[in-house]
Amino acid sequence: MVGLVSDVGLKRTLNEDFASYLEKEEFKIYVVADGMGGHNAGEVASQMAAERIVSYVNEKFYSSNVENLIEEAIKKVNRDIFNFSNTNENLNGMGTTVTVCFITKSFIHIANVGDSCCFAIKNNEIRKITKDHSLVQELVDSGSISEKEAQNHPKKNIITRALGTSSTVSVDVFELDNNEYELYILCSDGLTNELTKEEILQVVTEEQDYMKSTTKLVALAKETGGRDNITVLLFGGDI
């Protein structure tokens, strides 16, 4: 069972978020990307990232070292987006964040670039697995501001790492045990800018149906501002 909703929000005219996933007997792969750039460039970048990461994993799963597969996929797609952006003036500077969950029978890998993130839930507790690559996160890490101050910081949208803006990219990968958590949420910052992780947890634990949960989360994010595109992908951690 998967819940997936992507919404333009209340302030934007174009949805530059994109999500994709593939569930097979041997593995599952889930991706959320949040594009950026002028014209329709962000929309192009996020769709390329999500679809091509899924495609790469599906193509290489049986012939590659699966331990490195998700990082390889993201780096390959980064080069694809960067090279494509140089073919058209209107696409110059396009890029996207990405957060990925790759589930195999041996391990779960969570990866991210930028400030789209992954939450994991077990026993009515929620934990943020990824760490944002953003100016505000750096301020939190340095002790300049608190986590609470970060929630509504005016420079919250400035990211320090993205796919497609350079020919190389550094990818954070987190390895989890298969039974460590029950549920996973991948989302763009359009959700986390409006709702706290405790509010997210409350919705998910109240609803048994994943689509109802994701629909409700997006509706709540819009009620509290809906300032950005909002994408939520909810799924279980079993295989």
The per-residue DSSP string of 12-25 comes to -SS--EEEEEEE-S
**If you average pLDDT over every residue of the chain, what do you get?**
94
Q: Is the pLDDT of residue 137 over 90?
A: no
Of 115, 109, 110, the residue nearest 161 (C-alpha): 115
- Using CA atoms in the order 85, 5, 75, 70, what is the torsion angle rounded to 10 degrees? -160
Q: What pTM was estimated for this model as a whole?
A: 0.95
Average pLDDT over residues 169-183: 96
Average pLDDT over residues 191-215: 96
Predicted confidence band of residue 148 (pLDDT cuts 50, 70, 90): confident
Q: Is the pLDDT of residue 37 over 80?
A: no
- CA 87 from chain center: how many Å? 26
Average pLDDT over residues 218-231: 96
pLDDT for res 90: 82
Q: Please, are residues 138 and 205 in contact by the beta-carbon 8 Å criterion?
A: no
Measured CA to CA, the distance from residue 107 to residue 38 in angstroms comes to 38
Cα within 13 Å of Cα(158), Cβ side: 9
Predicted confidence band of residue 138 (pLDDT cuts 50, 70, 90): confident
Measured CA to CA, the distance from residue 184 to residue 84 in angstroms comes to 32
The CATH architecture annotation of domain 2-129+159-236 reads 4-Layer Sandwich (3.60)
Q: What percent of the chain has pLDDT over 70?
A: 99
Residue with the bigger pLDDT between 89 and 234: it is 234
Average pLDDT over residues 111-137: 95
Q: Please, are residues 165 and 90 in contact by the beta-carbon 8 Å criterion?
A: no
In the numeric block, which tokens belong to residue 4?
A: 């997936």
pLDDT for res 177: 95
Average pLDDT over residues 122-132: 96
The phi and psi torsions of 118 (rounded to 5 degrees) equal -125, 130
pLDDT for res 39: 63
Measured CA to CA, the distance from residue 36 to residue 59 in angstroms comes to 27
Average pLDDT over residues 127-155: 85
Residue with the bigger pLDDT between 77 and 40: it is 77
Measured CA to CA, the distance from residue 16 to residue 47 in angstroms comes to 8
Instruction: Give the helix ranges, DSSP H, for 16-166.
Output: 41-60, 66-85, 135-142, 147-151
List the beta strands (DSSP E) in the chain: 2-7, 17-23, 27-36, 95-104, 108-113, 117-122, 125-128, 172-176, 183-187, 230-236
In the numeric block, which tokens belong to residue 162?
A: 């993205």
DSSP summary character for residue 61 = T
pLDDT for res 38: 65
